[in-house]
């Protein structure tokens, strides 16, 4: 198999699962680089007796791999090789906190990055019904055209309390597909809806091909999603599934949740952030959205790489205070609410913000 550095490649493994629920079976690829380093990349169940290990090499040359799984004997011990080359326009690698300027971001090759982000929470849902990417592609082209370099998006959302149901053609909740088997009212959290994630794959890859960073929310607390019980095996499976499926993309940043201030159990939040990091061979950055109360201990502060805020006033002062208090990069990801296509009275939340006001706040 051949690919470029930092370009994901899927290693498909056809192997029957003898008993039980295949979504709880664990499998990983152990990839050895030309210089002897090892990446342990978890795989995921793709449906129809097929597992996938999605891998992207970080250096050029010949990588060898061995598949390991105590749960899937027919896959355990499989071996292979991936040859990686450097493309004509070399990628920058994974985004990190800059070692030289620790209040800033830089890619692995040292290239500085300033987050100029566009929040598009329902991007996953635009073409769920058709299965294509017509609407998604058009919006992504507009986002890129106007020089945004990052998209904030949910893995899944269900509906909103302020515009419940289908209120217009631009209202994408409830979506055409559910992330698990069953329904939001009667979910089967023990089984992932692989068709939903097949479509999400296309959205994620489209953003990758357009050189856009992805700030990906595992959860969202105000979109009426019926999630698995906290600390449950089903919750572990959900977090493991997403981390396994998308960590090979170098343009990923993990976020525990939008509105995580609404999670009362901050120990659970810390547990999930550390769980994500334990599964991620590529060490992408992790954060959580709008939860100042989470940062009440040193261990919690260490569990994130940067502070994500929702600040609608006193922008400069709030940034200075947070940088000084938490000693990490500060990202104000939410400071207004764009109105819908019908104008200022076309609400998308409890308040709407005119484009001119958005520009003023951003500057």
The label of the residue with tokens 């970080």 reads 58
Enumerate the domain spans of the chain: 2-85, 95-362
Q: Which of 208, 190, 218, 197 is nearest to 46 (CA)?
A: 197
Here the tokens at position 85 are 């080359």
pLDDT band of 306, cuts 50, 70, 90: very high
Residue 338 clears pLDDT 90, i.e. is over it: no
Domain 2-85 sits in CATH 2.60.40.10: yes
Distance of CA 251 to the CA centre of its chain: 9
| Residue range 218-226: mean pLDDT, rounded | 98
Give the E-state strand segments of 26-77 in sequence order: 28-32, 38-42, 44-47, 50-55, 61-68
> How confident is the model at residue 359, as a pLDDT?
80
Q: How far apart are CA 11 and CA 237, in angstroms?
A: 20
User: In this structure, what DSSP letter does residue 262 have?
Assistant: G
Here the tokens at position 284 are 């992408």
Residue 241 clears pLDDT 90, i.e. is over it: yes
| Residue range 139-143: mean pLDDT, rounded | 98
Residue 36 clears pLDDT 90, i.e. is over it: yes
Q: Which of 54, 61, 90 is nearest to 241 (CA)?
A: 54
User: In this structure, what DSSP letter does residue 283 have?
Assistant: -
Residue 139 clears pLDDT 90, i.e. is over it: yes
Residue 76 clears pLDDT 90, i.e. is over it: yes
> How confident is the model at residue 175, as a pLDDT?
97
Here the tokens at position 258 are 């939008």
Question: What angle do the packed helices 233-246 and 266-279 form, to 10 degrees?
Answer: 40
pLDDT band of 282, cuts 50, 70, 90: very high
Here the tokens at position 79 are 């071996």
CATH of domain 95-362: 3.20.20.80
How much of the chain exceeds pLDDT 90, in percent? 84
Domains 2-85 and 95-362 are alike in CATH topology: no
Q: Identify the sign of the CA torsion 344, 345, 348, 352.
A: positive
> How confident is the model at residue 17, as a pLDDT?
82
Residue 219 clears pLDDT 90, i.e. is over it: yes
| Residue range 11-37: mean pLDDT, rounded | 94
């Amino acid at each position: 198999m051949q690919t470029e550095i930092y370009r994901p490649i899927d290693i498909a493994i056809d192997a029957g699962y003898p008993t039980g629920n295949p979504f709880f079976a664990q499998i990983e690829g152990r990839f050895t680089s030309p210089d002897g380093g090892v990446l342990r990349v978890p795989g995921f169940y793709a449906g129809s007796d097929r597992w996938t290990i999605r891998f992207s090499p970080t250096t050029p040359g010949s990588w060898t791999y061995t598949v390991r799984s105590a749960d899937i004997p027919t896959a355990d011990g499989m071996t292979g090789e991936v040859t990686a080359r450097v493309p004509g326009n070399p990628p920058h690698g994974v985004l990190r906190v800059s070692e030289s300027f620790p209040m800033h971001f830089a890619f692995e090759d040292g290239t500085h990055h300033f987050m100029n982000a566009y929040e598009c929470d329902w991007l996953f849902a635009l073409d769920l019904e058709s299965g294509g990417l017509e609407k998604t592609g058009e919006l992504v082209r507009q986002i890129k055209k106007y020089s945004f370099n990052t998209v904030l998006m949910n893995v899944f959302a269900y509906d909103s309390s302020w515009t419940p149901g289908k209120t217009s053609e631009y209202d994408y909740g409830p979506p055409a597909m559910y992330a698990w088997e069953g329904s939001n009212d009667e979910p089967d959290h023990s089984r992932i809806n692989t068709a939903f994630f097949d479509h999400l794959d296309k959205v994620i890859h489209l953003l990758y091909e357009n050189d856009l960073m992805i700030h990906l929310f595992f959860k969202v607390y105000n979109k009426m999603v019926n999630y698995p019980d906290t600390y449950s095996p089903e919750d572990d499976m959900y977090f493991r599934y997403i981390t396994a499926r998308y960590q090979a993309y170098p343009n990923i940043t993990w976020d525990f949740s939008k509105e995580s201030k609404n999670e009362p159990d901050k120990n659970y939040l810390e547990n999930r952030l550390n769980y994500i990091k334990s599964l991620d061979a590529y060490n992408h950055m992790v954060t959580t959205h709008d939860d100042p109360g989470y940062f009440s201990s040193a261990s919690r502060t260490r569990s994130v790489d940067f502070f994500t805020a929702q600040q609608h006033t006193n922008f400069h002062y709030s940034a200075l205070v947070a940088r000084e208090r938490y000693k990490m990069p500060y990202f104000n990801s939410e400071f207004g609410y764009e109105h819908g296509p019908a104008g200022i009275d076309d609400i998308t939340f409890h308040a709407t913000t005119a484009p001119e006001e958005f520009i003023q706040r951003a500057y």
